[in-house]
Amino acid sequence: MNWFRTALLMSALTALFMGIGYLLGGAAGAMIALLFAGGMNLFAYWNSDQMLLRMNNAQRVDQRSAPELYEMIQQLAENAGLPMPAVYIVHEDQPNAFATGRNPENAAVAVTSGLLNSLSYEELSGVVSHELAHIRNRDTLIMTITATIAGAISMLANFALFFGGNRNNPLGIFGTIALMVVAPLAAMLVQMAISRTREFGADRGGAEICGRPLWLASALGKLERASQRIANPAAEHNPATAHLYIVNPLHGGALAGLFRTHPSTEERIAALNAMAGAPARGPWG
């Protein structure tokens, strides 16, 4: 069901992108938009992982430089039936993590230094297992493509507002202007819906990989509390990457609940507690 919902949402994003192309240039504009989306996705497929790691100033580590972390990920990757991913550390105080890569054979797991300093070995195992589940489910590729299309929609909408669109379209000039304002917001909401769908799946998969749902539940509670107190400058400078982290790294203010990129942490912990057969607890464990 999650894959079906994700496919529908990605189709909606593509249709929205082509619709804006039509409003800009008619049928030819829609075809150009489709070809443009394909080109961007091809570029993202091959280059998104290294771009993301560079944006976060991630430093690659190996068995000599970070033996405990490396060996943990190696063991959990074996549990998940995955090749060993590249391992990176992001030097940020906020405890967080993300995975990237176009497929399991070209994947990377990145954790922040704050994560390593604030979690127990068991909780860290739960977080790493969550990221490995994203890799196994190929969520990293899906989320990169959705971010690329959503960004292109915003770019096209800005272009149309400044330079005008196809005045002969059925919506008329005022309808076109309204759509150009609404389209980026709609794209963002669809992107968030896809992200939320994939997070629940990764929580379930991560709990299965490490074998202890409560390890991940405990970690999520700590990460949520820390993310509200500690800023993540790298993510704040590149907010389009926020949906890739295990918890939202941004400080969104009063509208954070409406535009959050992740399911509520309380819901995620409740689902993990249910997997473990544990009784429900208060907010964030």
Residues annotated catalytic, as ranges: 131
Cβ(157)–Cβ(222) under 8 Å?
no
* DSSP element (H, E) containing 73: helix 67-80
Of the CA atoms within 13 Å of residue 121, those in its CB half-sphere come to: 6
- Closest alpha carbon to 140 in 68, 224, 50, 216: 50
Amino acid at 126: G
Cα-trace Rg, the chain = 20
- Three-state SS annotation for 201-223: HHHHHHHHHHCCHHHHHHHHHHH
Q: Which residues contact 113 (CB under 8 A, 6 or more apart)?
A: 89, 90, 91, 92, 93
Structure letter (DSSP) for residue 245 = B
Cβ-in-10-Å burial (0-12, 13-18, 19+) of 64 comes to exposed
Look up residue 133 and give its two tokens: 């589940």
Distance CA 199, CA 191 (A): 12
- Extended strands (E) in the chain: 58-61, 86-90, 97-101, 107-112
Residue recorded with tokens 């944006």: 55
For residue 7, what are the contacts with CB-CB under 8 A and spacing of at least 6?
A: none
